[in-house]
């Protein structure tokens, strides 16, 4: 299978077009503004896009690229979801439309910071100008902002993104690190930057190297595991509270060891290793945390330590280390674990109810998919008809139209082609229905 490569201007990889913090997106349903110190301003009039929205946007760009960079593309929702590796449930149909709302409400401004390979420019534009879900055909028509598409099409300052690898990453942080790092290897195999400044480019909520580095390590592990890009991470301390982070690009076939939390001097049992991996990745490399868990494990056993780790992971908003230490000393997770058992029984009831709802949603999604498949088949059949049959169908379609739409088509006024196309599909669907009835 050929690689699905998407041309992308480096300005849209260097500057965030989406955000890896999904909680941030959900907490700003009415808009969000982000600005860096170099003259890049990002405005979202609705929820800011996240990793899922990036997948959809890259897919739309891929289809535009395949159609000679057309700014106006028409796709079925079923096709989009399937090609993006998602199921055709009601949730994903709604999430796709929500994604289009997000991209429609995005505006980016470069205040003399857009680099075209030779000079820096000032410009302001959107991403998607409009989108329409056609009532008759159930197709999504998506219209890109002309300037946004032009900059990607004509740029000489670009890299190709592998769509399949982006999908495979799953982790939002790993995806953003992949975007930032891959663009730096155009003419070199090693790149180093200040750790805090790198986190700001992502952007990350973490502010200090001690919190940033473990998360970047986990992201690099995932990139090495899921993509053809192989990286070796270099950490260089530079004075108190400051570190540089370096990325070395290795040959694609280089075997790379996936780094796991260091447990030297700690219990070597499988139970303890399981406890370590219960701790969030950004915390499970910290020596003081591992030692505290080891003490509780040796003194009270696996279940004791496990319930307090689970309790802390759910409850701690900040300072995970202090929260876990307090929980392990006072067994704060005991009452919480008992509550979880009660909640679990309630969840079983809710799960049964949800299963029924899922069945209903799946049936609705199946109906939508069948309608879209019929619509696609109707278009393909019409395209392969003899000219005299096409003329017959077209005349029948025009007769089917009511005023003023009939006059609009007959006089070839603005929008007549799309109106006629919809009417033709209705006639074709009707004839296909008659054929099925005869069978």
**Residue 270 and residue 263: Cα distance in Å, rounded?**
12
DSSP string, 39-79: SEEEEESSSPP-HHHHHHHHHHHHHHHHTTT-SEEEEEHHH
**Residue 396 and residue 390: Cα distance in Å, rounded?**
10
For the residues 122-146, what does the mean pLDDT come to? 92
Please tell me the predicted confidence (pLDDT) of residue 1.
39
Q: Give the global pTM.
A: 0.64
**Residue 372 and residue 366: Cα distance in Å, rounded?**
10
Where are the alpha helices (H) located in 202-332, listed in sequence order? 209-226, 270-278, 287-300, 302-315, 320-330
pLDDT digits (tens, 9 = 90+) for 49-102: 999 999 999 999 999 999 999 999 999 999 999 999 998 888 999 999 999 999
Q: Which of 173-182, 338-347, 390-399 has the lowest mean pLDDT?
A: 338-347
With cut-offs at 50, 70 and 90, classify the pLDDT of residue 435.
Answer: low
pLDDT at 367 over 80: no
pLDDT at 372 over 90: no
Please tell me the predicted confidence (pLDDT) of residue 437.
55
Looking at residue 427, what DSSP letter applies?
Answer: H
For the residues 162-186, what does the mean pLDDT come to? 92
How would you write 374-412 as a 3-class SS string?
Answer: HHHHHHHHHHCCCHHHHHHHHHHHHHHCCCCHHHHHHCC
**Residue 423 and residue 398: Cα distance in Å, rounded?**
7
Q: What are phi and psi of 301, to 5 degrees?
A: 100, 175
Which SS3 state, helix, strand or coil, does residue 131 take? strand
Only one residue has tokens 């990607």, namely 152
pLDDT at 257 over 70: no
For the residues 384-390, what does the mean pLDDT come to? 85
pLDDT digits (tens, 9 = 90+) for 235-245: 887 766 688 89
Please tell me the predicted confidence (pLDDT) of residue 19.
94
pLDDT digits (tens, 9 = 90+) for 403-422: 888 888 888 888 788 888 88
With cut-offs at 50, 70 and 90, classify the pLDDT of residue 163.
Answer: very high
Please tell me the predicted confidence (pLDDT) of residue 347.
58
With cut-offs at 50, 70 and 90, classify the pLDDT of residue 342.
Answer: low
**Residue 226 and residue 218: Cα distance in Å, rounded?**
12
Q: Is 3 exposed, middle or buried (0-12, 13-18, 19+ CB in 10 A)?
A: exposed
Please tell me the predicted confidence (pLDDT) of residue 2.
56
């Amino acid at each position: 299978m050929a690689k699905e490569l998407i041309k992308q201007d480096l300005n849209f990889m260097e500057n965030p077009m989406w955000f890896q913090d999904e909680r941030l997106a959900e907490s700003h349903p009415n808009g969000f503004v982000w600005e860096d110190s170099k003259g890049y301003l990002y405005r979202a009039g609705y929820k800011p896009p996240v990793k899922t929205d990036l997948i959809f946007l890259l897919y739309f760009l891929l289809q535009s690229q395949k159609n000679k960079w057309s700014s106006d593309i028409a796709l079925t929702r079923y096709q989009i979801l399937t090609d993006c590796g998602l199921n055709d449930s009601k949730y994903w149909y709604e999430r796709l439309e929500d994604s289009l709302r997000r991209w429609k409400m995005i505006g980016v401004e470069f205040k003399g910071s857009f680099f075209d390979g030779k000079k820096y420019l000032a410009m302001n534009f959107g991403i998607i100008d409009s989108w329409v879900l056609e009532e008759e055909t159930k197709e999504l028509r998506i219209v890109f902002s002309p300037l946004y598409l032009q900059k990607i099409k004509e740029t000489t300052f670009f890299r190709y993104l592998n769509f399949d690898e982006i999908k495979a990453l799953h982790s939002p942080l790993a995806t953003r690190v992949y975007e930032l790092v891959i663009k730096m290897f155009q003419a070199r195999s090693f790149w180093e930057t200040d750790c805090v400044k790198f986190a700001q480019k992502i952007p990350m909520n973490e502010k200090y190297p001690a919190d940033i580095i473990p998360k970047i390590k986990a992201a690099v592990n995932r990139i090495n595991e899921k993509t053809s890009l192989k990286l070796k991470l270099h950490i260089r301390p530079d004075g108190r509270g400051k570190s540089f982070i370096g990325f070395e690009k290795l040959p694609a076939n280089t075997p790379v060891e996936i780094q796991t939390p260091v447990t030297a001097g700690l219990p070597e049992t499988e139970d303890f290793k399981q406890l370590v991996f219960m701790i969030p990745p950004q915390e499970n490399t910290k020596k003081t945390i591992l030692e505290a868990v080891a003490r509780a494990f040796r003194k009270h056993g696996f279940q004791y330590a496990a319930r307090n780790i689970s309790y802390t992971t759910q409850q701690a908003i900040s300072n995970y280390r202090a929260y876990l230490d307090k929980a392990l000393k006072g067994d704060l997770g005991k009452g919480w674990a008992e509550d979880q058992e009660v909640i679990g029984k309630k969840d079983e009831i809710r799960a049964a109810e949800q299963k029924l709802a899922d069945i209903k949603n799946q049936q609705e999604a199946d109906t939508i998919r069948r309608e879209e498949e019929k619509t696609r088949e109707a278009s393909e059949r019409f395209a392969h008809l003899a000219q005299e049959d096409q003329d017959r169908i077209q005349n029948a379609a025009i007769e089917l139209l009511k005023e003023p739409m009939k006059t609009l088509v007959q006089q070839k006024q603005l929008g007549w082609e799309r109106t006629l196309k919809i009417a033709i599909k209705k006639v074709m669907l009707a004839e296909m229905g008659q054929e099925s009835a005869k069978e």
